[in-house]
Structures are given as C-alpha cells and as structure tokens.
C-alpha cells in the first residue's frame, strides 16, 4: 500500500522493498538543501524517514524482528574477544610491518586500552548547547554537497515508512557488506545515546550525523571500540590509524563515516 506524500517533492515513484513500499525520486533533487530540513521536521508526524541512497543499493530488506533479536552487548563482547585475539600480536609488537621502498611505514597501533569488553559508551544528555538531531543532519548534508562527495549526485531521495533512520536502513536492505542486523542495532543505540541520524548511503559508504558527540576522552575510547566492532573497513584500518588517534578524533565530532569493501 502506498502512503500520502508530503507536498513539494520532485518527480518520483513508489517502489517495493521487501514487504515495504518506498518512494524514490527520479533524480537527485536540485533543491535538496531546502527540502531536507522540512522532511526531517515532518518525519515524526508523517512517519516517513528521508534518506539519500543509490537506487541499486536497495537489495534484501532485514526484518525489524531480526534487529530486535540482536543481543548487542553480548555480540559485541564476543566479537571484541575474537578481535583482540587476532590483533594482540600486532598491538604488542611495535616493529613496523614491511612496506615497499619509498612508502611510509604504517604507524604502530597499540590497540584499544581494554582487555575485555568494557561496555557501551554512556549517553550524552541533550542540552541547549547541542543542535537538534534534525539540525545536525541538515548540516551534514550541506557539508556533503559543499565538499562534492564522490557519488552523492547519483543518490536519490528515498522516503521510507519507518519510526527511525536505523529501521529505515533495515527496511531498504542496504546492499553493502555490513552485518546489517548488528549495524542497525548499533545505529538505534547511537540514535538514542548521541542523537545520531543516517543521512546518506552510497556505494559502500554510510554517512551519519551526530548531534551530541562524546566530550570526554574516556567515553570516546568506548565509542571508538563500538565503531571498530561495526566491522567497517575504514575504522583504524584503511587508511591505517592507531586506535588512540581515531578515538581522540571522535571527541566533539558531529559526523561519522563508515565504509565496507
């Protein structure tokens, strides 16, 4: 069943994504910076989550029951134990890995400062000093356009009947190599704790705005480990970045980018 559309949309059509119907624009909207904040402000009332998505990125939807079933802390604790087992020999050995002549050696990564799963980063309370999640999402979109992010102009505006962005991502079945049920469970939690919002998915990239980023190094360390365990390839691995450096960069950062091979 189709749904009532907001006024002022560009030309588009309804498509089926698994059991859900979604609306997809025919082209990248030329006035998206004007349209985007309004769609975000109407999201709760209309029940439609706006996303910018490559049309061919909508593949095999994940049922929300599969996301609900993820025991996130148990999964992350198990995944961290395995990740630490594999990486520990490299963390304790500062000898640079061999690289071709003329190539700068990779910096040594001492790894996360934890011997076992330390738990989730604490929630950052909303204050008058923080933007609303909708404002942070609009700012990230403006930055993506201003910097001419490769692939953005191939995106389409997609309206997904969902309660939140993480559920919308599950409903369209984003086709990257990400573990989608776990990723959507993480995104739900980040929405609650940090005012995060999915803005765009194109290629294997996921762009997330953050209204309330961590302000303390200790909390950023915990959050950085959650990012690592998302399995995204760009977190500390590509390009190589020591875990402490990545974690430090999360303090106050209002957007996160993830990509998978």
Q: Are 109 and 97 in contact (CB under 8 A)?
A: no
pLDDT digits (tens, 9 = 90+) for 225-239: 999 999 999 998 877
Return d(Cα 54, Cα 10) in angstroms, integer: 16
pLDDT digits (tens, 9 = 90+) for 80-138: 999 999 999 999 988 877 777 777 778 899 999 999 999 999 999 999 889 999 999 99
Q: How do the domains of the chain map onto residue ranges?
A: 12-69+117-259
Tokens, residue 107: 């910096």
Angle at the Cα of 141 from the Cα atoms of 162 and 147, rounded to 5 degrees: 150
Mean pLDDT of the chain: 92
pLDDT digits (tens, 9 = 90+) for 130-174: 999 999 999 999 999 999 998 999 999 999 999 999 999 999 988
């Amino acid at each position: 069943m189709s749904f009532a559309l907001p006024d002022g949309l560009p030309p588009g059509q309804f498509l089926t994504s698994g059991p859900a119907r979604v609306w997809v624009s025919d082209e990248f909207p030329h006035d998206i910076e004007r349209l985007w904040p309004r769609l975000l402000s109407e999201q709760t009332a209309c029940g439609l989550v706006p996303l910018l998505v490559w049309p061919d990125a909508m593949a095999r939807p994940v049922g929300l029951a599969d996301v609900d079933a993820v025991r996130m802390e148990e999964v992350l604790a198990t995944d961290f134990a395995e990740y630490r087992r594999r990486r520990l020999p490299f963390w304790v050995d500062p000898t640079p890995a061999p690289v071709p002549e003329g190539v700068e050696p990779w910096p040594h990564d001492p790894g996360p400062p934890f011997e076992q799963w330390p738990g989730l980063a604490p929630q950052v309370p909303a204050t008058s000093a923080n933007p609303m999640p909708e404002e942070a999402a609009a700012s990230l979109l403006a930055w993506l356009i201003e910097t001419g992010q490769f692939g953005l102009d191939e995106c389409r505006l997609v309206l997904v009947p969902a309660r939140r962005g993480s559920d919308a991502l599950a409903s369209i079945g984003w086709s990257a190599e990400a573990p989608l049920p776990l990723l959507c469970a993480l995104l739900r939690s980040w929405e609650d704790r940090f005012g995060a919002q999915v803005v765009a998915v194109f290629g294997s990239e996921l762009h997330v705005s953050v209204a309330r980023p961590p302000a303390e190094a200790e909390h950023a360390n915990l959050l950085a480990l959650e990012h690592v365990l998302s399995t995204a390839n760009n977190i500390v691995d590509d390009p190589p970045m020591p875990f402490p450096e990545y974690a430090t960069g999360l303090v106050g950062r209002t957007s996160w980018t993830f990509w998978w091979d």
